Amino acid sequence: MTDTISTLHESALDPATATLRHRQPAGEPWLTEIKQGQTMRILDLEGNQAVDIIFYNRHDVAEHYSASDTLLEQGSIYLSTGSVLLSNEGRPMLTIVADTCGRHDTLGGACAAESNTVRYALQKKFMHSCRDNYLLAIAQVDAGLSKRDLVPNINFFMNVPVTPEGGLTFADGVSAPGKYVELRAEMDLWMLVSNCPQLNNPCNAYNPTPVEFIIWDGA
């Protein structure tokens, strides 16, 4: 297990010098470009808001973030400072260069009609989900993506401990208002975001909240 304390690292970047500041509403999707060399901060404005993201090579969307390659390379199931996010071709996509939260989930996946039914109740099936958000985003932007391109994602700011028996526990978050994670892009990317609309998980007090993306150009 990653030692959360040892991976905490603050950034020296000043938001006043950023190229872009984007406030993402609670529960909403977003698909945008990130350029190689840019640094992106994801800011948890109110605390414990899961931000579900998939990254793709902007010039070849068949190359995408790979949870399995990333976990095998770093030898940990959690992401934090120093973690390198690898693609399904084994190439670095992004590097986490700063993190004041200390743990980000790679196993819990994105909520969907099916998981809402299994985890919560049959009548939750038609509640809005991250998978719905992904489909909405790729329908609105011509990035060459389709539903078959949806792969396992990262849940930034989400805490999903693994039990000794190998099960997943959707626990209270370890984030708080103002916590952030910062990543440097190692290639040109598409970033597919669902600012999770989940209303059934107590980790965010059953209340999805907005987050902010801050992007700086490379040197």
Confidence at residue 24, expressed as pLDDT on a 0 to 100 scale: 97
Rank 17-21, 99-103, 125-129, 198-202 by mean pLDDT and report only the highest. 17-21
- Please check whether residue 102 is in contact with residue 5, taking contact to mean a CB–CB distance below 8 angstroms: yes
How remote is the C-alpha of 145 from its chain's centroid?
A: 18
Predicted confidence at residue 110, as pLDDT, reads 74
101 versus 128: the higher-pLDDT residue is 101
Mean pLDDT calculated for residue range 189-214: 84
**pLDDT by residue (tens digit) across 130-155?**
889 999 999 999 999 999 999 999 99
CA distance to 30, 56, 141, 155, 172, per residue, from 33 (Å): 10, 10, 11, 19, 31
Instruction: Report the predicted TM-score, pTM, of the whole model to 2 decimal places.
Output: 0.90
Residue 175 confidence (pLDDT) above 60: yes
The pLDDT > 70 percentage for the chain reads 80
Q: How confident is the model at residue 3 (pLDDT cuts 50, 70, 90)?
A: low
Strand partners, 44: 179, 211
Nearest to 212 by CA among 4, 27, 22, 12: 22
Confirm if 144 and 61 have CB atoms less than 8 A apart. Answer: yes
pLDDT top residue among 208 and 53: 53
Burial pattern 32-45, b for ≥16 Cβ within 10 A else e, equals: bebeeebbbbbbbb
List Cα–Cα distances, 192 to 35, 36, 137, in angstroms. Answer: 14, 16, 7
How far is residue 41's CA from residue 71's CA, in Å, rounded to a whole number?
22
Q: How confident is the model at residue 116 (pLDDT cuts 50, 70, 90)?
A: low
